[in-house]
Structure 1
């Protein structure tokens, strides 16, 4: 279970890392699109400046102001780009129409130390806000398409000022725009390279994630198998416990029956002993009476008439003794039956002892399995 939890934590870390790569990918794409849009805006601004119908004196007077304004605008763009303030929410880089040129205020006098301020207005369309990248592959395609779109910009920025400005100082804005475009293209290539590297790392992480998912499935199967085996063992233990409880109840009933038989045997033994005593006494009396009878017979030989009544009395006594003997024989038979019952009870006790031994062995086996 601990290994499963570790794998789950690793998968969560990989998922978080993948989300971080996607966020960085989106940021790189935003920066690339913003760089392309700014390059387009610079080229369009230089073209508008070149298309103005000024005199040679006005161009000579305003060229330095325009160059200062472009330098300030470039510094502002670099600062915004370094701070990460540029987002895709204000740029529609998928549109085929170029963005409008930067608006400018009225040109001030030559003595005005404040250069002209350019305000950038990019169309914030719905497609730009809803087209955020969802994968590294789409990001690479967007950057590639943006790099293709930037190729004609350099030619346009290189040709447009040359058609309108004849003096070298008049072409400074075009050179600045071309240099800035080249810098933006270099930056775009660096960002595309970083994006490809992020894509490669994401592929590696995808492979690791797949292997971890496969291992998770295998561990899940093993856990299920172990759970099934555990359920079987629990059912077997429950059945064994039920059998043991039934054996315990049977043993308790057997012990109670043995106790009842022991008590009855004790009573039967006492009764048999009393009967034996009575039988011995009766036998002694019979022997004594026989002896007396013999003596009487010897005495009656001389006086038969006088002993006739005594003989009858002795015969009656003998009959009485025979009846007692019959009773004693019946009691002896009952005693033999009682002995048979005691033997059966002894067999029951031995069976109970054997059952108790088997129960102890079974409980010892259960304890060994539990350990």
Structure 2
């Protein structure tokens, strides 16, 4: 019996140890599960963080590319602005030259108009002078024609007088001859 007691005690002791071992095993299993869950959570967290880091790196790469593109655009815009400024200055210079040229042309036109006005005024004076001279010449022509007609009439009158004088001389000559003839007959 002692042996039975001994085996019984040993059996109880083994059962207690078994229960303790089972409890410890359960505890360790739970600890392992907790640790596994924590490890899983940490792994998931690490994976999420890795994905987030990869996304952040991809976003950073995109942002770097955008920054490079923006820098290029900015440089291009600056070149365009410089080019536009240069073109604007050139246009301003051309505009100022054109305005100066237009001003000179206006001044020249005003001067030419003034000169033309003077020339026109001189021409009008010359026309008035020539018209006055033409009028004077017309009057002189009329006077000359009138004088010419009078002279023609005088010439006509003088011709008649000459004819009368010649006729009178001829008559006078004939009369003298007649008287002489008569004087001869009386002698």
TM-score (norm 1): 0.30
Distance in 1, Cα, partners of 2:120 & 2:54: 96
Q: CA RMSD in A?
A: 3.5
Which consecutive residues of structure 1, in runs of 5 or more, have no partner in the other structure?
1-59, 61-161, 296-371
1: CA distance, partners of 2:77 / 2:33: 64
Quick check: 1:213 aligned with 2:80? no
Q: Does 1:266 align with 2:123?
A: no
Per the TM alignment, residue 169 of structure 1 is displaced from its structure 2 partner at its CA by 5.2
Residues 150-229 of structure 1: matches in 2 within 5 Å?
167-168=20-21, 170-171=23-24, 172-229=26-83
**Matched residues, number:** 129
Unaligned ranges ≥5, structure 2: 1-15, 152-187
Larger Rg: 2
Displacement after TM superposition at 1:207 (Å): 2.3
1:139 aligned residue: none
In structure 2, do the counterparts of structure 1 residues 186 and 274 end up closer, same or farther at CA, with 3 Å as the change threshold?
closer
2:3 corresponds to: none
Residue 53 of structure 2 aligns to a residue whose secondary structure is helix
Alignment of 1:1-371 (within 5 A): 167-168=20-21, 170-171=23-24, 172-277=26-131, 279=133, 281=136
Q: After TM superposition, give the deviation of residue 243 of structure 1 in Å.
A: 1.8
Provide the rounded CA distance (Å) in 2 between the counterparts of 1:187 and 1:278.
127
Q: Which has the higher contact order (CA 8 A, sep 6+)?
A: 1
Cα drift, residue 277 of structure 1:
4.3
Find runs of 4+ consecutive structure 1 residues off by over 6 angstroms. none
Take 2:131 and 2:36, find their aligned partners in 1: how far apart are those partners?
A: 137
Please give the alpha-carbon distance, in whole angstroms, between the structure 1 residues aligned to 2:37 and 2:121.
121
Q: 1 CA distance for matches of 2:32 and 2:71?
A: 57
CA–CA distance in structure 2, aligned partners of residues 203 and 274 of structure 1: 101
Partner SS for 1:167: helix
Alpha-carbon shift at residue 279 of structure 1 (Å): 4.7
Deviations 1:211-247 (A, max 9, x none): 2221111111111111111111211221222122222
Distance in structure 1 (CA, Å) of the matches to 2:38 and 2:23: 23
Change in CA separation of 1:208 and 1:277 when aligned onto 2, cut-off 3 Å: closer
The C-alpha deviation readout for 1:117-147, integer Å capped at 9, x for no partner, is: xxxxxxxxxxxxxxxxxxxxxxxxxxxxxxx
